[in-house]
Amino acid sequence: MTTVLTHATFYTGEADPAVIKDGYVRFNQQIEAIGTMADYVPAAGDEVINLTGKVIVPGFIDVHTHGAYGFDTMDGNQDDLVKMVRSQITEGITTVFPTTMTQSTESISQAMRAINAAAAEEPAIVGVHLEGPFVSPHYKGAQPEQYIIAPSADLVAQWNELSGNRVRLITYAPEEADDLAGFEEYLLAHNIIGSIGHSNASREFLQNNSKANHITHLYNAQRPMKHRDPGVTGHAMLEDSIRTELIVDGFHVAPDMVKLAYKLKSAKRIDLITDSMRAKGLGDGVSELGGQTVYVKDKQARLEDGTLAGSVLEFDDAFRNIINFTGASIQEAVEMAAVNQAVEFGLTQKGTLRIGKDADMNVFDGNLSLLATYSMGRHFSKQDLVIKEA
């Protein structure tokens, strides 16, 4: 049955029209029509839903998420990955890159196999983010040091094949590579975006040696910006070509520093991410990340030594937070939550509301509380959330 949502305000993510007031959208798996109610022509068999006073935006794209609701990418279980992603859809994420972490090569291989199988069942899985094991021990964050190794194009090739050629993003420390030029050439040749993260590289080194144009969770687990040493963070701020991830939970990055990044990078160069881990959605308590005990309290996930261990951030909170922290418009928040990721990763069916694109949409009330999500036309809400039993 074709669904029609009527009398809503649409923020399309497109340049023209960017906003449709008192609009409608007709869709099955893809968007069949979108416009103002003045152009709406009823059709027999339509399921019409009146959404007066509601706001509709494109579905969110999370390119950095390890786990949620008791599930984790590194568990390497197909069925659990499907459940994890479908639960994440209820917070507005309609496109997911399940994200690995620094573990043994065999554990990462098993995760790739599981993602490949899960993606055949759940179309919201469209890529893989390899975070580690090619990181620096100096800025390992919550990445277990015993599994850190130097960047290897051969391993990436192996993991990419196991994933069904879905690896789209790799976090690595460029200064740790034995053959950085060769590694980055491999990534470019295979449509994989290299991201500087968990890195102790200087700006001078990055300027002279690295072609990476993406930064993993800006400010976090990287050589910081200082007045005599710009570091990774300063490099990200100064290079217009670089896109930066931001965890906008108010803990990983102070709100004023989020605002600084927004002012320097603009909405067009920021990708909102959750960097969420298994404990998201489970409340306070004890959890696990990469074999390490994680303590969750007051919406923060930390190792025993206090190190932040991913987040328990829900994407609809990130969407509201970026507006509240920076004064960004809803249109700009849509850019940071969906448009930028679709452009960067060539997701031509995602990111905006346009005829022929996948019917990925979020429905908010006037206070930007998430009411419902459509993922390729499938209806999801918070009531559909699946929590893994202990």
CB 191 within 8 A of CB 168: yes
Cα angle, residue 256 at apex, residues 362 and 196 outer, rounded to 5°: 75
| 18 belongs to an annotated ligand binding site | no
Q: Which of 249, 275, 317, 360 is catalytic?
A: 275
Distances (CA, A) of 208 to 48, 101, 194, 236: 57, 28, 16, 14
Beta partners for residue 200, in sequence order: none
| 130 belongs to an annotated ligand binding site | no
Straight-line distance from the first to the last Cα atom of the chain, in angstroms, rounded to the nearest whole number: 38
For residue 195, which of 212, 181, 179, 210 has the smallest C-alpha distance? 212
| 309 belongs to an annotated ligand binding site | yes
| 227 belongs to an annotated ligand binding site | no
275 is catalytic: yes
Q: Which amino acid is at 146?
A: Q
| 190 belongs to an annotated ligand binding site | no
| 378 belongs to an annotated ligand binding site | no
| 308 belongs to an annotated ligand binding site | yes
Distances (CA, A) of 280 to 259, 310, 315: 25, 10, 11
CB 219 within 8 A of CB 231: no
| 198 belongs to an annotated ligand binding site | yes
| 220 belongs to an annotated ligand binding site | yes
Give the distance from CA 14 to its chain's centroid.
Answer: 20
Neighbours of 208 (CB within 10 A): 8
Neighbours of 390 (CB within 10 A): 6
**What is the spatial distance between Cα 84 and Cα 346, in angstroms, rounded to a whole number?**
24
Annotated binding-site residues for substrate read 142, 220-221, 228, 252, 308-310
The catalytic site residues sit at 275
Annotated binding-site residues for Zn(2+) read 131, 198, 217
Annotated binding-site residues read 131, 142, 198, 217, 220-221, 228, 252, 308-310
